[in-house]
Chains A and B, each alone.
Chain A
């Protein structure tokens, strides 16, 4: 979500990794950010001028971000080439996404970018939450549901990062994961529709917590970063176990289909036995 501290976290992680001599490759995919506190290796703003897009195409801010992402996605194969070339030398590739989460999670270009990355390298999702805002039970449940939707959309291992623990009140938010009674008390005897729904969702979310990992950090103070790296390593291991075989299988299937098409085209161009010459090419299989 916007304001949760993604960019600050990325900068803190990059600094931490730099200090411990584990190099990281940094990519910024937010076309609308004004100032970055880190120096990215690849920056979408080098390829696309957000302000110009807004003006040239007469778009609002969201339209401009989506268009900028679309333009970037058309060149993403070049980005991937750069990243995979550097991959042997770096341990981490950190990708900063746009503040308006839907422009990335609910757009074709966002999906292209994340799926392209996931097909090339072990990829995990860090869902950053403003712990302070999420100390309201309704906001907490909404955030967790949204994280769940991101899990199902990307089908990649997920880490919920509770950011701003330096200012968040104790006992809330992250504590509610796995403390259904505490959350239920916080929702209170709210007889409203939202209260009832919140309680049902809280039960479902108990199952969600088992499927993901969560870490409390402060991007500002650096608290929790080693634990975050451990969670990322755990998620990467899950990628290797669960996602990599599927990616490999799909790549193999796509290659086989392409091969088949190729053969089909060749066959249609070979002269037939009766010498009538080439028939019209067969249409590609759907």
Chain B
């Protein structure tokens, strides 16, 4: 008799360079292992010189940007795109490398270039290879450095980028304001509670219109807020990776996004999820 099919839950960690993806993967893995989950970290950034965590699978074994740059005389961006497209053309390497780790909890550390999400089918190709054959439940975690959301205009900009990413990966997405501990240390963000709880949309339109440089975009402000509302993207989770409480709260949200909370695998996790 065939063994029952195994479901693998995973997070795809995305965000601009400097948003904290690699630190997130390290911290999140530590926390989840503390909950008893068997975590595998997969580094898919061909440009990362080394990782602070022990990568179960590292794309560096397949391709690295310095090697590409040297061989083909490309600059840093061209080399990254080439390397990632190379990976997308060789997904069987990745699928084979992942096979022995099915059933574990996967964390994918991704490169930060927006071109991969906007210009390029490489990510889509990669994701469809990963999820082909079923059994893999992915959620995208989109990190934005909290310091970049100092005012409403910047926050709308962050939302727009998040929608663009969501648009390309077609996965449930959890938006995260990272490094809130650092922001707190420098005086905090005015609207951080509202970002976390979900801003009232009329308030948001009003706040945008109040900015003297955005008043003239009144029609656009309204249209964007309407778009954001349609796709329920007003919420951002806040994260301080060094705080157990903060990471725990985020894990609950991601577990809902990728369906982990409905699995029966992790009694300890369910107990933890029940704690208010």
Q: Is the CB of A142 within 8 A of B167?
A: yes
Asked whether A193 and B170 contact (CB < 8 A) given A60-B49, A155-B213, A242-B216, the answer is yes
CB of B161 within 8 Å of the partner chain: yes
Give B236 Cβ to nearest chain A Cβ, in Å: 15
Most buried by A among B76, B115, B168, B230: B76
The size bracket of the interface on A is 35 or more
Contacts of B81 in A (CB 8 A): 2-3
Within the complex, which residue of A107, A130, A210 is in contact with B18, where a contact is CB–CB below 8 Å? Answer: A107
Most buried by B among A62, A139, A211: A62
Q: Is the CB of A145 within 8 A of B160?
A: yes
Contacts of A3 in B (CB 8 A): 77-78, 81, 115, 119
Q: Could you tell me the distance between the alpha carbons of A43 and B210 in the complex, rounded to whole angstroms?
A: 38
CB neighbors of B among A136-160 (8 A): 138-139, 141-143, 145-146, 148-153, 155
CB neighbors of B among A77-116 (8 A): 99-103, 106-108, 111
Q: Pick the interface stretch among A10-18, A172-180, A200-208.
A: A200-208
Q: Pick the interface stretch among B23-31, B145-153, B252-260.
A: B145-153
Give A105 Cβ to nearest chain B Cβ, in Å: 8
Most buried by A among B78, B81, B113: B113
Q: Pick the interface stretch among B133-141, B217-225, B240-248, B265-273.
A: B217-225
B residues within 8 Å of A by Cβ? 16-19, 45, 47-50, 65, 75-81, 112-115, 117-119, 145, 147-148, 153-154, 156-158, 160-161, 163-164, 166-168, 170, 187, 211-214, 216-217, 219-220, 223-224, 226-227, 230-231
Within the complex, which residue of A99, A106, A152, A249 is in contact with B153, where a contact is CB–CB below 8 Å? Answer: A152
Q: Do most interface residues of chain B lie in helix, strand or loop, or is the interface mixed? A: helix
22 CB-based A-B contacts, threshold 8 Å: A1-B119, A100-B76, A102-B113, A106-B17, A106-B148, A142-B119, A145-B164, A146-B114, A149-B156, A150-B157, A151-B157, A152-B157, A152-B160, A153-B153, A153-B157, A155-B213, A197-B166, A201-B167, A207-B220, A208-B223, A242-B212, A242-B216
Q: Could you tell me the distance between the alpha carbons of A208 and B167 in the complex, rounded to whole angstroms?
A: 18
Q: Could you tell me the distance between the alpha carbons of A106 and B149 in the complex, rounded to whole angstroms?
A: 10
Q: Is the CB of B170 within 8 A of A194?
A: yes
Q: Could you tell me the distance between the alpha carbons of A286 and B186 in the complex, rounded to whole angstroms?
A: 11
Contacts of A169 in B (CB 8 A): none
Within the complex, which residue of B49, B167, B223 is in contact with A194, where a contact is CB–CB below 8 Å? Answer: B167
Q: Could you tell me the distance between the alpha carbons of A201 and B161 in the complex, rounded to whole angstroms?
A: 13
Q: Is the CB of A192 within 8 A of B170?
A: yes
Q: Could you tell me the distance between the alpha carbons of A61 and B68 in the complex, rounded to whole angstroms?
A: 13
Within the complex, which residue of B166, B168, B211, B224 is in contact with A148, where a contact is CB–CB below 8 Å? Answer: B224
- Least CB separation from B74: chain A residue: A34
Q: Is the CB of B212 within 8 A of A246?
A: yes
Give B90 Cβ to nearest chain A Cβ, in Å: 21
Contacts of A204 in B (CB 8 A): 220, 223-224, 226-227
Q: Is the CB of B49 within 8 A of A99?
A: no
CB of A29 within 8 Å of the partner chain: no
Give B104 Cβ to nearest chain A Cβ, in Å: 26
